[in-house]
A and B are shown apart, each in its own frame.
Chain A
Amino acid sequence: MNWFEQLFARCQMYGALSEEIHTHLSEKVEELVASGVPRKEAEYQAKREFGNVTLIEERSREVWMWPRLESILADIKFALRQLRKSPGFTVAAVLTLTLGIGINTAVFSVVHHILLEPLPFPQPSQLQAVWARSDAQGSPRIAASGPDFLDYQDQSRSFSHIAAVLPHFTFTWTGEGEPRLVKCTAITEDFFSVLGIRPYMGRLYTAREYATLENDTILVSYGFWKNQLGGDPHVLGRVIHLQNDPTTIVGVLPPLPDLFPETDVWPEHNTRPSWEFSKWRANKFLTVIGRLKDGVTPAMAQGELTGILRRASGEPPDVQVQLTPLKDDLVGSVRTQLRIIMFSVALVLIVACVNVAALLLARAARRSGEMALRLCLGAAHKRVRQQLVVEGFVLTLLACSPGIFVAWLALHFLPYARGLDFPRLEGVCLNGTALLVTGAVAAVTTLFFGWAPSLMFSALNLASSMRTGRTDTGKSHQRSFSGLVIAEIACSVVLCICAGLLLHSYWRLQHVDLGFEPNRMLKAYLRTNYYTPEGHGFWRDVLQGIATLPGVRAAALADCKPGQGAEIATLVFSDRPNDPNHAPPAQGCWMSSDFFRVSGTPLMQGRFFAPGDDADSAPVVIVNEQAARKYWPGENPIGKKISINYTGPGRTSKSATRMREIVGVVRGMKYGPLELPIEPAVYMPYLQDEISHDMATMSLFVRSVGDPTALESSIRVRIHAVAPDQPIDDMQTMQDIVSRSMAPRRYSLSLLGAFAALALLLSAIGIYGIVSYTTLQRSREFGIRIAVGATRGSVMSHIFRRGLVLTASGAILGVGMALLLTRILAQLLFDVSPLDPLSFASAVVLLALISIAACLLPAWRASHLDPIRALRSE
């Protein structure tokens, strides 16, 4: 008989078996009766001698089955039936697990992709980013200058290829619709060999093109080709106007989501011959990447490059070249943030699992009568345990697929999260490893869920529980139950404290003094092609046109961008010796006379610029209070004379600087990240530029009477009235800029806040669960108490006490854990200590309130017990 026939013949076979056994018994009874035994006695004896009919029938049937498998199937069926019977429990447990598993899978996918997955280039471990550091100068990350790079290239033997990259600059693209800016990343000759990239279409640059300064060919990025050029298959040979020069597209690069993903075009950066600005040793602006030769370790290369760099003149003596794996270099900034998210999400999963375990335990306790009966009827402990494990497994399985869906959904909407500027975010997807990890987590939870209740039953006293009809599983399991809830509360406290710390930092940061008034202020980036003296007139006309717009209070130009950044100038003092190798730095800015009136920066001393501070008048400078304090401590800086080496962005030459008189001191402005301190800065009228025809890049700042965004179109019109092909880029309110700079912080805050809220909710369910469960178990006791005269108030306070003891133990444990753990948050905190008492206290108070709320219902229920009914129902 093959197994297939067996499958169908089985029912028949089982029937035959029952009948056979039945006949056997009756035959035996007949014989015993015939030998004179009374019928009743005969029936007993027959059964006794035959053995456990059910067990024997089952064992006989098992011959035909795959007993292990089928018993598991039966358990699954039973578990599903059980779950259907208590939908409240099922929904709570499945939802909890779904969220836990889903969020974890999503976060792990992101972390895995960003931090762990290697770069999609051949032998990615050979790719290294080259930076210098000098502790004496306090600069941990120094880029390379043109001469530095040439030295590396000529003298180093460690790399098979080495290239320099100049990212984050723009070209103007005119001639097709509204003039636009395209984002550029310039690369030197070996760049594509370093990475091992082949063009998606067309060709790369030829050696001759790398050696031509005024090259008229260009490589475009895949994204630019798809989105801006419409994916035109005949794009090769097409001419576009960049910087007013006709430029021929010769190639399209493949998608490079990991490396400067925002790049539109990849111009070549010439090294021989090169532009003037890349001949200055001190002009460190190049990112250098290289591919190590086989068998060369980063340490060897590091030593070699350090030697090369130290031979150059003017380098600080402690300069040290550092190699960072390219991947780490790209993701370095978000590592901590991701780790913290990962850590908090793991805590949420623990809380979720503990919560479900507590729910299961409570349910198992209610089912201890059923279990006792099973064990009495001859079920093996192993078998009961199997059933409980299967139930846990079914639950996890039920939660897994929606969990994966939640993860998929989260990842799907991740790219739309505003202000989330993680590197390598593109291409994040649910990956096998993440699913595997989720599976492992699910498996562990399952075992945990199954084992915890089954341990409880192994201690079950069958005789007593059957005799009394009461299903008390004793103190030990209540203790494990309390343990679970305490663990859960502790995890929630940790998350709440972390969220509190971030919230406090965020609040502090929002109230930081920016040095300018971001409300009703608009900014636009203008990069002109006026490298000639006519540029001057252009800026004057633009300013005039906009200042006279209705709704505009004031307008100004500046080449620094408050809230975003400024370039570095160096100072030369007239009243002290100057060391050219250690020139004191300050942030520099060329600006029009009304700038501080637009920005709302307060004047501390002296005067603002006046329209009269122009090319014909004596050169002047305004410094910020930080510069005044640092360079003229205890002195009045007004009237002092300094000269300033400052080129500013977008300029390609410089000439000798002049001495300037300090005429004012203003409040410092935040340029970069809000959490960094304000640096010394100097401000100069752009009309007094040493070569005033060379102002290629300025930002326009407008202070409006009303909503600044309402002015956007009229500003565009006014600018285009002056120069029709002027690109206007990056127009936004200062409020948006400030808010965007806080986005990553807001993002971690909202994530951690959400996790903390989730954990709190789960703990509330946990506290509610255990308190109402123990109350239920003790309803007889409470009934007696009330019957013999306990007041409702005393019963209620008794229950509250129980809840509060749990909460207090959990809170103490949680605070202890937090004291050890919050240190890792330090990098994300601003002006708040990792042991901030406010955050710790509010987390504990919040949890206390929640636990009181969770105890309310069971306490009320117990205190309103009808003693008669409570006693009778037992």
Chain B
Amino acid sequence: MPSAKKTAHRDLFPGALEMMILQSLRRQPMHGYALVQHIKQQSNDLLQVEEGSLYPALQRMLKESLVKAEWEISATNRRVRTYRITPAGIKHLQREVSRFEQMLDGIALVLSPAKP
């Protein structure tokens, strides 16, 4: 039975993983393994994403046409499936990021010491 503990560990909040994937892909198209590595490095290993959980998220985004995938040959000479962000994906990312920032601001306000 998938425990609740694991889920909390993986998803910081709903949509976080998606946002990070889209942001990474916006910089450059990547395949799955590279994406995991990229997110790990960018977060200074603070975020430990269960690698596998990437794939259901990628499938979801494929289905919603936020990304598209193509088979290519990687730098290590492997046949890999490279994901690219679509215009719809960019729009979605911007919307999500601004919503996230708003939420962050809100949280920050609540958490900051009360002004006299």
Residues of A within 8 A of B (CB): 1, 6, 16-17, 19-21, 23-24, 27-28, 30, 49-53, 55-57, 59-64, 378, 380-381
Q: Which residues of A contact B63 (CB under 8 A)?
A: 1, 6, 63-64
Q: A56 — nearest CB in chain B belongs to which residue? A: B52
Flag if B53 contacts A63 (CB, 8 Å): no
Q: B55 — nearest CB in chain A belongs to which residue? A: A60
Docked CA distance A6–B65 (Å) = 13
Q: B14-22, B76-84, B89-97, B108-116: which one contacts chain A? A: B76-84
> Is the C-beta of B106 less than 8 angstroms from some C-beta in chain A?
no
Contact of B76 among A20, A27, A55, A63 (CB under 8 A): A27
Flag if B79 contacts A23 (CB, 8 Å): yes
- CB<8 Å pairs between A and B, sample of 8: A17-B55, A24-B51, A27-B33, A50-B50, A55-B52, A60-B55, A60-B58, A62-B56
Q: Which residues of A contact B60 (CB under 8 A)?
A: 63
Q: Which residues of B contact A1 (CB under 8 A)?
A: 63, 65
Docked CA distance A299–B51 (Å) = 81
Q: Which residues of B contact A17 (CB under 8 A)?
A: 55, 59
Q: Which residues of A contact B58 (CB under 8 A)?
A: 60
Contact of A24 among B32, B56, B65, B69 (CB under 8 A): B32
Contact of A51 among B51, B80, B81 (CB under 8 A): B51
Closest 8 CB pairs of A and B: A51-B52, A56-B52, A63-B59, A59-B56, A60-B59, A60-B56, A27-B33, A60-B55
Q: Which residues of A contact B53 (CB under 8 A)?
A: 51, 56
Flag if A24 contacts B50 (CB, 8 Å): no
Q: Which residues of B contact A52 (CB under 8 A)?
A: 52
Contact of B33 among A19, A24, A378, A380 (CB under 8 A): A24
Interface 0/1 of B45-72, CB less than 8 Å to A:
0000011110110111011010001010
Q: Which residues of A contact B79 (CB under 8 A)?
A: 19, 23
Q: A20-B32, A23-B79 are in contact. Are A50 and B59 (CB under 8 A)?
A: no
Q: A51 — nearest CB in chain B belongs to which residue? A: B52
> Is the C-beta of B4 less than 8 angstroms from some C-beta in chain A?
no
**Shortest CB distance A180–B (Å):** 81
> Is the C-beta of B8 less than 8 angstroms from some C-beta in chain A?
no
Flag if B59 contacts A23 (CB, 8 Å): no
B33, B60, B69, B81: most-surrounded residue (chain A CB, <10 A): B33
Residues of B within 8 A of A (CB): 1-2, 31-33, 36, 50-53, 55-56, 58-60, 62-63, 65, 69, 71, 76, 78-81
Docked CA distance A61–B59 (Å) = 8
Q: Which residues of A contact B1 (CB under 8 A)?
A: 378, 380-381
- Known pairs A23-B78, A27-B78; list 18 more (Cβ under 8 Å): A6-B63, A16-B71, A17-B59, A20-B31, A20-B55, A20-B80, A23-B31, A27-B76, A49-B50, A53-B52, A55-B2, A55-B52, A56-B56, A57-B55, A59-B55, A60-B56, A60-B59, A62-B56
Docked CA distance A49–B31 (Å) = 18
Q: A24-B32, A24-B33, A63-B63 are in contact. Are A50 and B76 (CB under 8 A)?
A: no
Docked CA distance A60–B2 (Å) = 15
Docked CA distance A49–B10 (Å) = 12
Q: Which residues of A contact B80 (CB under 8 A)?
A: 20, 23
Contact of B50 among A21, A28, A51, A61 (CB under 8 A): A51
**Shortest CB distance B74–A (Å):** 8
Docked CA distance A425–B60 (Å) = 61
Docked CA distance A190–B87 (Å) = 84
Docked CA distance A27–B77 (Å) = 11
Docked CA distance A50–B36 (Å) = 10
Docked CA distance A56–B51 (Å) = 10
**Shortest CB distance A460–B (Å):** 14
**Shortest CB distance B33–A (Å):** 5
Q: A1-B65, A51-B50, A51-B51 are in contact. Are A23 and B33 (CB under 8 A)?
A: yes
Q: Which residues of A contact B52 (CB under 8 A)?
A: 21, 50-53, 55-56
Flag if B51 contacts A50 (CB, 8 Å): yes
Docked CA distance A381–B1 (Å) = 8
Q: Which residues of B contact A16 (CB under 8 A)?
A: 69, 71, 81
Q: B61 — nearest CB in chain A belongs to which residue? A: A63
**Shortest CB distance B73–A (Å):** 12
Q: A21 — nearest CB in chain B belongs to which residue? A: B55
Q: Which residues of B contact A19 (CB under 8 A)?
A: 79, 81
Docked CA distance A51–B1 (Å) = 13
Flag if B55 contacts A56 (CB, 8 Å): yes
Q: A379 — nearest CB in chain B belongs to which residue? A: B1
Docked CA distance A21–B52 (Å) = 8
Q: Which residues of A contact B2 (CB under 8 A)?
A: 55, 378
Q: A24 — nearest CB in chain B belongs to which residue? A: B33
Q: Which residues of A contact B69 (CB under 8 A)?
A: 16
Q: Which residues of A contact B76 (CB under 8 A)?
A: 27, 30
**Shortest CB distance B42–A (Å):** 18
Q: Which residues of B contact A61 (CB under 8 A)?
A: 59
**Shortest CB distance B38–A (Å):** 13
Q: Which residues of B contact A6 (CB under 8 A)?
A: 63
**Shortest CB distance A384–B (Å):** 11
Flag if B32 contacts A49 (CB, 8 Å): no
Q: Which residues of B contact A381 (CB under 8 A)?
A: 1
**Shortest CB distance A646–B (Å):** 90
Q: Which residues of A contact B81 (CB under 8 A)?
A: 16, 19-20, 23
Flag if B55 contacts A49 (CB, 8 Å): no
**Shortest CB distance A4–B (Å):** 14
Docked CA distance A30–B80 (Å) = 15
Docked CA distance A17–B80 (Å) = 11
Docked CA distance A17–B81 (Å) = 9
Docked CA distance A822–B2 (Å) = 55
**Shortest CB distance A208–B (Å):** 84
Q: A26 — nearest CB in chain B belongs to which residue? A: B78
Flag if A64 contacts B51 (CB, 8 Å): no
**Shortest CB distance A268–B (Å):** 80
Q: Which residues of A contact B55 (CB under 8 A)?
A: 17, 20-21, 56-57, 59-60
Docked CA distance A324–B35 (Å) = 84
Docked CA distance A60–B79 (Å) = 20
**Shortest CB distance A33–B (Å):** 13
Contact of A64 among B31, B32, B33, B59 (CB under 8 A): B59
A6, A27, A28: most-surrounded residue (chain B CB, <10 A): A27
